[in-house]
Amino acid sequence: MKKRIRDFGVEIGTMERGVRNAISDVPGVLVGHVTLSDGAVQTGVTAVVPHPGNLFREKVAAAVHVINGFGKSVGTVQLEELGTLETPILLTNTLSVGTVSEALVRYMLEQTPEIGLTTGTVNPVVCECNDGWLNDIRGLHVREEHVRAALENVRADVEEGAVGAGRGMSCYGLKGGIGTASRIMEIGGQNYTLGALVLSNFGRQDDLQVGGRAVGREIREQMESAAERERGSIIMILATDLPLSDRQLKRVAVRAGVGLARTGSYIGHGSGDVVLAFSTATRIPHESLEPILTLPYLQDHFLDPAFRAGAECVEEAILNSMVAAEPVTGRDGNHRGSLREYL
């Protein structure tokens, strides 16, 4: 079965893809899902782990860019201020952010006994989209055990579509969810990787573009459905092994908006569009006896390949999230079909 946008003859961008064409092409990055699918319950949890070590003790440089702030994410204020990521990134539905955040804190406390005793507290990072069209979001069905299972079952083979946090998501009036892609960057005679993972839940169907082709209105006419307003959200996670500072990561994160726009979004009032970016190139110690840290980072005038990679990866990841997702019927019989039915 065709499950990725390239399977339909659609080529996004010009850069070379990674082996898996996934965020896990960045060495050390792993992804785990727990999917809840039972009648009106269509939701889940997705975990993105930057490296297999202890993230609190060995942080990574990170940045956040808020394109439109209609969202309820946790942990982004400290991430913006300090420029480091110290927990896995978890994705879920809007009303489960509190439960997932507490579960992530408990997980980190078990991994790191000194938190809250001989050192400071921990900054859990949890992002969300509203899956209430397909999911009984008021039922608060995500539990701590689901978070733990997602964290304990991360792997390099990234599942896409209606899985994990993406189970109940909608995109351009069709089924959305989890999508991923990667690009290889040749800089200074060395190859580096940038990968994206998205949780897609946004868009007005008339606006959908696939590889530059405006197909949204055609699809709506085939579905014989009324035009909908722009609403929903998207979380875009960028990972790279390129040595970048948090300032440079923010610059790369801004370019995710290019990929988002290329699929047709104009970033409407009710859409929460958030980008998180991190680099695995250097691990930053939580505590060090040395007062001065020397961290390598790229000279700015070499950043263009990363900018292009960020845009290409996000565009392709969004389309992958849609074609990989099977049709889902959920709460009150609400239904979303798959993009692959119309390509």
Asked if residues 309 and 195 have their Cβ atoms less than 8 Å apart, the reply is no
Encoded amino acid at 11, one letter: E
Q: How far apart are the first and last CA of the chain?
A: 13
Residues 6+ apart with CB under 8 A from 336: 133, 134, 170, 173, 174, 175, 176, 327, 328
- 10 φ, ψ (degrees, to nearest 5): -100, 115
Active-site residue (options: 265, 273, 321, 338): 273
What per-residue string of b and e applies to 261-271 under the rule 16 or more CB within 10 Å gives b? bbbbbebbeeb
* Two tokens, residue 14: 């010009």
279 flagged as catalytic? no
Bridge-partner residues for 178, per DSSP? 161, 199
Asked if residues 130 and 93 have their Cβ atoms less than 8 Å apart, the reply is yes
Encoded amino acid at 78, one letter: Q
Per DSSP, the three-state class of 252 is helix
101 flagged as catalytic? no
Active-site residue (options: 271, 279, 321, 338): 271
Number of CB atoms found within 10 A of residue 117's CB: 9
Q: 1 exposed, middle or buried (CB, 10 Å; 0-12, 13-18, 19+)?
A: exposed
Active-site residue (options: 170, 233, 265, 321): 233
271 flagged as catalytic? yes
The span from the CA of 218 to the CA of 289, in Å, is: 62
Catalytic residues: 233, 271, 273
